[in-house]
Structure 1
Amino acid sequence: MLVLKSLDIDLTQSEKKTLLGFLTLYSFFTIVILLFISFLYYSFQKDLMLQQKRASMQDYSSELIFRLKDLHINFDKYKFYPRDENFNSAIYDSDRKLIFSTLESQNVDFNSEVYTTDSKIHFVEQPESYYLGAKYVVLEIKDDLLWFENLKKEIALFILIAFAFMVFFGYFLLKLFLKPMRDALHLLDRFIKDTTHELNTPVSAVITNVEMIDIDSLDEKLARKIKRIDTGAKTISNIYEDLTYLTLNNKIISQDENINLSKIVRQRVDYFKTLADVKKIEIKTSIKEDIFIFCDNKKISKLIDNLLSNAIKYNKVKGQIKVSLQENSLIIEDSGKGMSQTQVEQLFERYTRFDKSVGGFGIGLNIVSMIAKEYNLKINVQSQEKIGTKMEVTWQK
């Protein structure tokens, strides 16, 4: 996340997840590669240490074999197995059965000439002659592990430096990958700003003129046409306001005041009634009088608009919408398609759309989430597929 901040990029939630996933995967493979290289280096250093020890243990072995030969010849005279303070030893017959041992570790690997086990270094040799019946001579010395301690420091320093370099390299790689995406987003952002600017005047003119028409005085056929124009204009107007909010969000100065939420909810329900009528959706309201909230009028209206718009958009024909306003909560419940739990978890991500058959850009609920966070509003979503969705907005007095 520090890399993302240093790039000075304003990313959406989905983009952040994508980039975080890339960084996680990149870091994981970097660590795996560094550990693999470290293991190869460890194996090389261990083999080098064993070869160095092999030379001295070869001398010890030659000395022991000489003493075994002397004991073999003069067994009646000595009858004592030769010992040395520099090493422990053991002899085995051709069937690898123990004849005599002073080893601390009794597990012997006869297939290896020199190896380590239990902090001990073992050396296995086969004498030319079977003195005392010994086919195998095994030597054991202590491993002080100094080589391993030094090796750990070297590997730790290597991993630290290499990982820092790879992160530094990944930073520039990430900038390289992000540049075309950011350029495309800047072009899209400019296109949205230009488009919304051009839409404002004609849409406002259509809505204003439609509202001035006395629909009740028209014949039924013409009235239906006017209502369709009104519905289309309001749909475009709502999209325009959403796009404007996104493009100007950082520049919008909130005009917070104590506003009558009851009045605003009624106004917004009336505004969307035309859209609901197209799908023959019945809107039932239970609005308590004189509920006040301290916030920006336009922003709370935008929050309500997007909740109502979604309740209509994803509802079924001849469905229902229940709007309830109480002391500390606003509930908008529909009888629409509903969502799975996975979809509910992704509901407020920008550009998220679960049904491509309906219009929209997937930005409405993202705006709802932004406004809710600004005013510390809590949003609880309950949804069941093919039953409907209940959106509850709560706040503290």
Structure 2
Amino acid sequence: MPNKKYFLPIFLLYTITSSLFLIFFTLSYYKTEKDDIYKKTAYKLRAYANEIEFMLRINGSYEKILNLQNEYEINLFDIKSNRYIIKKFDKPEFKNKLYNDDRYMYYSDDIHSRKRMVELNLDIRTSSPKQSIDALFLRTSVIFVVVLLAIFIIAYFIVRLSYLPLLNQIKTLNNFITDTTHEINTPLSVILMSAEMFDKNPTKYLENIKIAAKTLSHLYSDLSLNLKNEPNHIETLNLKDILEKRIQMFELSAANKGITIISKFEDVEINTDSSKFKKIFDNLLSNAIKYAFKNSDVVVSLDSSTLSVVNHGNVIEKENLNKIYDKFSRFDTQNGGFGIGLSLVKRYCDDLGFEVYCQSANEKTEFSVKFKNNYKKLEIK
């Protein structure tokens, strides 16, 4: 369940505002439909009154009116003689033409027959549309509840889906800040301690200072490059010469863990960006040493189509293979790191038209960088 401190206010804000809109539209719909039912009933009563008036004007006979088969009851009152000609019900007192109570709806109006010689008062009564209105209320309530539940369910998933990535980013940023402090503090502590102990064993502590300084330089390089998006500067490179020089930089940190770096190189020249290629290799080799078992081998191979770096250590789980190039992704908390090295590798490989692959099984992990022969601007010589 997401952090309630952040999740609940967003969820409530979404559901409350949506519910208020739903209530407004539901009430508007109910009122409109209710008024429409009354209007239709009133219209039918007026139409029936007009029909009676028309019949009286044609022949002035009340018998046909009495014989009308209809759902309506009528009172017909002769105003001049002050007597009822037809009386089917007791009329309640009301001033307007239309009146409605819980059981009936009434319509009352004056009509004329025989060319306005006879003035009559007509009252019509029919069943109240309350039953139809109750049905409307029930139908509207059911729709309201269903839609409200749908809003809550949709709100939960929308807020969850939109909020969790943000929460993960905040968590990642917090971890990044913590890791940054730790990663920088470790080599600084080594430098300070080695400086204090330098007189006792200058050679040993000088090497420690060199390793710590290179570690800091590597961390700074990763952080600064991660914020930049440099264009390619293409030149012809001899990869074998570059790799041999880069390996020398890592021999000390490898020896510290009893790791032997084995090189298997062919002479390869390609047109590519020197800085980005070096950063690709440095990160792959640095990771290989960092995550390798102590007293094991790291094998670096180069041929005309592929650069590969192999180490022996804990495997990367299959479900994580597609995530290792994501920025700040880390799946081994014991060895530290920012989780940006492989992100840079992937980004620079994309920039240079290379393809990077990872295979991990049986305590062996291999990263391969494929030089694409069909890449027009960076073709292999």
Q: What is the CA-CA distance between 1:391 and the residue it aligns to?
A: 1.0
Q: What do residues 278-313 of structure 1 show as CA deviations (whole Å, max 9, x unaligned)?
A: 3233433321123334222x3322221111111011
Within 5 Å, which residues of 2 pair with 1:100-179? 126=103
Check 1:64–1:255 CA distance in 2 against 1; reply closer, same or farther (3 A cut): closer
Deviation at 1:372, TM superposition (A): 2.3
8 A Cα contact 1:242 1:367, kept in partner? no
Structure 2: tracts of 5 or more residues without a match: 1-5, 52-62, 73-99, 106-125, 133-165, 196-200, 373-378
Q: Report the counterpart of residue 288 of structure 1 in structure 2.
A: 266
Question: Are residue 307 (structure 1) and residue 290 (structure 2) matched?
Answer: no
The answer on 1:256 being equivalent to 2:239 is no
- 1:294 counterpart SS class: strand
Whether the 8 Å CA contact 1:242–1:364 is kept in 2: the answer is no
Displacement after TM superposition at 1:240 (Å): 0.9
Partner of 2:89: none
User: Does residue 341 in structure 1 map to residue 318 in structure 2?
Assistant: yes
Does residue 276 (structure 1) correspond to residue 259 (structure 2)? The answer is: no
Q: Give the secondary-structure state (helix, strand or coil) at the position aligned to 1:304.
A: helix
Structure 1 residues 135, 389: closer, same or farther in 2, change over 3 A?
same
Deviation by residue 1:11-50 (Cα, 9 ceiling, x = unmatched): xxxxxxxxxxx9xx97x98765554333212111122213
1:327 equivalent in structure 2? 304
Q: How much does 1:241 deviate?
A: 3.4
Whole-angstrom distance in 2 between the partners of 1:63 and 1:255: 89
1:339-375 deviation line (CA, Å, top 9, x unaligned): 2234333323344333232243333223323332332
CA shift digits 1:57-98 (9 cap, x unpaired): 45468689999xxxxxx99x8484559xxxxxxxxxxxxxxx
Rounded to whole Å, the distance in 2 between the matches of 1:351 and 1:306 is 14
Structure 2 residue corresponding to 1:56, chosen from 24, 39, 44? 39
Q: Among 341, 349, 352, which residue is 1:372 paired with?
A: 349
- Give 1:250 shift: 3.7
Report the CA distance shift for 1:282/1:124 in structure 2 as closer, same or farther (over 3 A). farther
Partners of 1:230 and 1:350 lie apart in 2 by 32
Question: Which position in structure 1 is the counterpart of 2:370?
Answer: 394
Residue of structure 1 equivalent to 2:29: 46
Instruction: Find the aligned partners of 2:40 and 2:131 in 1 and give their Cα distance.
Output: 7
Aligned residue identity for 2:280: L
Residues 64 and 82, structure 1, Cα contact 8 Å, conserved in 2: no
Write the letter of the residue equivalent to 2:340: I
- Counterpart of 1:167 in structure 2 is none
Size of the aligned set, in residue pairs, is 257
Cα distance in structure 1, aligned partners of 2:347 and 2:229: 14
Query: Following superposition of structure 1 onto structure 2, how do residues 195-234 of structure 1 map, counting pairs within 5 Å?
Result: 226=203, 229-230=206-207, 233-234=210-211
1:345 aligned counterpart, secondary structure: coil
Query: How far 1:245 sits from its partner (Å)?
Result: 5.0
Instruction: Determine if contact 1:231/1:274 at 8 Å carries over to the other structure.
Output: no
Residue aligned with 1:56, SS: helix
Query: 1:326 Cα deviation (Å)?
Result: 1.6
Aligned partner letter, 2:360: S
- Contact kept in structure 1, 2:38 and 2:129, CA below 8 Å: no
Residue aligning to 2:20: 37
CA distance 1:37–1:127, change in 2 (3 Å): closer
Contact 2:268 2:303 in 1 (8 A): no
SS of the residue corresponding to residue 310 of structure 2 reads strand
Alpha-carbon shift at residue 252 of structure 1 (Å): 6.5
TM-score between the two structures when normalised by the length of structure 2: 0.51
Comparing 302-311 and 356-365, the one that deviates more: 356-365
Q: 1:300 to 1:375 in 2, by over 3 A?
A: same
Q: For 2:284 and 2:42, locate their aligned partners in 1 and report how far apart those are by CA, in whole Å.
A: 87
Instruction: Note the C-alpha offset of 1:258.
Output: 0.4
Change (3 A) 1:316 1:267: same
Seq. identity, %: 20
Cα pair 1:285 1:322 within 8 Å, conserved:
yes
**What is the deviation of 1:259?**
0.8
- Contact persistence 2:330–2:339 (CA under 8 A): yes
AA aligned opposite 2:39: S
| CA spacing shift, 1:268–1:51, aligned 2, 3 Å | same
Q: 1:300 to 1:235 in 2, by over 3 A?
A: farther
Q: Relative to structure 1, is the Cα distance of residues 383 and 125 closer, same or farther in structure 2, using a 3 angstrom cutoff?
A: farther
The residue that corresponds to 1:354 in the other structure is 331
Change (3 A) 1:282 1:354: same
Quick one: structure 1 residues 234 and 266, their matched pair in 2 at CA, closer, same or farther if it must change by over 3 Å? same
CA distance in 1, matches of 2:256, 2:205: 8
In structure 2, relative to structure 1, the CA distance for the partners of 1:299 and 1:63 (3 Å cut) is closer
CA distance in 2, matches of 1:272, 1:33: 59
Report the alpha carbon displacement of residue 125 of structure 1 after superposing the two structures with TM: 7.3
Checking the alignment, whether the CA contact within 8 Å between 2:232 and 2:351 is kept in structure 1 is no
